[in-house]
Structures are given as C-alpha cells and as structure tokens.
Structure 1
Amino acid sequence: MKPFPVIIAGPSGVGKSTIIRSIITEIPELKPFKTITTRPRRSNQEDRYSFINVDQFQGLIEKGELIEWAEVHGNFYGGLKKDVLEILNLGKFPIPINAVDVQGVKTYRQAFPNLLSIFISYGSLDELPDRIRATRPDATEEDIRTRMISAQKEMEAAKDFDFVVANPEGQLKQTLAKVRDIIKKRIRG
C-alpha cells in the first residue's frame, strides 16, 4: 500500500475536530498535521492549529510552501507541504490526517492522487445554529447567518469527496464508527 493522506472536511460546526481527536486515539496509524491559520485562538482551542499573522501567511503563499489555502470568513487557512510530506516519507505508516476547508480537497487531490477524502455533513442544517453557539459562544447572529449561507454552499461540494458521512446531533458514536471503518478498510487495502 502506498502512503496516503486522509482529509476530513465539512461545514462549520459539523464536528470535524471532534471526529479527528477521537479517530486518532482509535487508529494508531494516523498522525495529525497542523493547519496554519490567521484567525484568533479560541478559548477551547485544540493543538491542531498554528496561529500566524496575515503577513506571515502571505509569505508562505509567495514561497509556495502551502499545499492549499483558502480565505474563510475573513481568515486564512492552509496546510504546509513539508508537514504532510514529512509524514508520508516515513513510509507506509503513519498516515497524515487533518480537517481542511471544503475548497481545499481538489488541491490536495492534485498533490496526492491517492488521497482519502471524507465529507462530514449535518443530520440537518437546522442543527447548525445550536452547534455554532456551542463551539463559538461569542458568535453573533450575523456570524451564524453567514455560516449558514456558507454551509449550504459547502454541502454542495460533498460530491467531490470519496465518502460522505452524516453526523446528526446526538449520534457521534455512530458517525465515528463509520469514519473508522472507512479508514481501516483503506489501510487494509
């Protein structure tokens, strides 16, 4: 089996970070790589981000050091080529995994044709406002409206992914089981 990265994507508040945190404890072959971002750190922030300023981010773009990048809700996000390649160059394992913006999957697929991409969707878009409020307590109603509009557009991108897994409110265990099975099946070849 040739080494391959795993990309998890989906709209805001769908549970991407929660899924990755859980999956990496269940599948020891997975190794997360960080997302570079210009957005402010949240109080409940996990370690999967490196925070830099806009000038530093622009420098990474100019030097061609990012696999992909996107501006999302006024902030920049991207993945460093060297981080993914360092993991892949170790051989069959570990397998790099990260959550990326929906816009980034096509660029990742160009760089890594054997990419495994999993889109996480809501059970229903009606769940989104409550999920955003839970993960972003300082979100304004305007923030929520903006994220609702983005989520509707992002849901249309699901067709570009290898797998689509719904994560309805209250069914995280079932969602994790589906994602785990998809990844383990790919590992087994």
Structure 2
Amino acid sequence: MPRISAGSVEEHREQVHQRVFDALAVLLAQRSLDAITMAQIAATAGLGRTAIYHHFPDKEAVVVAFASHETSRYLDGLRAGLADVVGPVERMRVYVRHQLGASSQFHMGLGAQLYGALSRDSMLAIRDHVVEVEQVLRDLLADGVASGDFVVDDEASTMSLLHACLSPRTLPTADVERFVLRGLGVPQP
C-alpha cells in the first residue's frame, strides 16, 4: 500500500495529482506530448515508475485531468474577477485582461499538440471544458447586446475574432482591450 504523505487520503491524492500536473507542464515545455512517457512523468513528479498508475491509467488520462484542472483554475479566477464588476464594458475589460494574463499562469496552449495525439473521447472530454470557458464569453456578449453596449451580428464569428485578438501575448494589454471594445461597437473616448 502506498504511503500517505498528507492528513487524509483525499489530500494526498490532490498533492500527487498536482505534482503530476506540474511534471507534465515541465515536460511539455521541453518536448512534444508524443515524446513524453508515463515513466518520465512519474520521475519528474518524484513518483515511483509504477506509482503513477495508482492515479492515472495512462498518459491520456493524465492529459485530460491536467486540462480539466487548468480550465477549472482558469474559470475560478475569471469568475472571481468578474464577481463584483458591473456593466458589460467593464466586464469585457476584465475578460480581456484575464485572458491575456492567463498565459503566464496556465498551461492552456496544448491545442495543436493534442490533435491526433489523443483519442476522440479524450478530445471530447477536453472540449467540454473549453465549452465552459466559451459560455462565459457568450454570456458577456449577450449582456452587452441586451444593454445596447455591444453590437454583435454573428456570435460565432465575434467569439472567434475576439479570441484571435487575444492570442498574441506580446501586445500591450491596453491596445488589445481598446481594439476588442472598438470591434464590439463601444465608442472610444
């Protein structure tokens, strides 16, 4: 039986999962997903080669759990940031800032690596989490349209274009924010 290194079995499991997620992030910064093995993840996490299998049956399960964990952390932060903000324009500013700041806090840039590397079921499980993030934006846009602050002719196109604007992480946040709001029809001072 594995040794428990925390106050409870659940706490121990959470600690081990976090170590595995941190290890996966380190390895993904060094090599592609298909070049990473379960043994490498275990070693980087400080686990025995077979101990990782007590928590995850295979690499796909690690990746899906990792993506779920990262998305949950992202959404928790975004929702907390939006909680006390009033008005669609200010809420969109928070969304833009949070999204632009996410690259330094989250390992969410796995998209291109995952296509073809994971099973359809795993991709769908990860997609379910992406839909949660998209719903926050969808709600922000709907609130802005309802208040008359935003002009959105085609929701799907607007969401795609907005996220494309949030992809380059090297541009000044204020410039991206102004551009996004201008694109949504918000008059600029």
TM-score, normalised to structure 1, is 0.30
Question: Relative contact order (alpha carbons < 8 A, sep ≥ 6): 1 or 2 greater?
Answer: 1
Question: Which protein has the bigger helix share?
Answer: 2
Task: Output the TM-score relative to the length of structure 2.
Answer: 0.30
Q: Which has the higher strand share?
A: 1
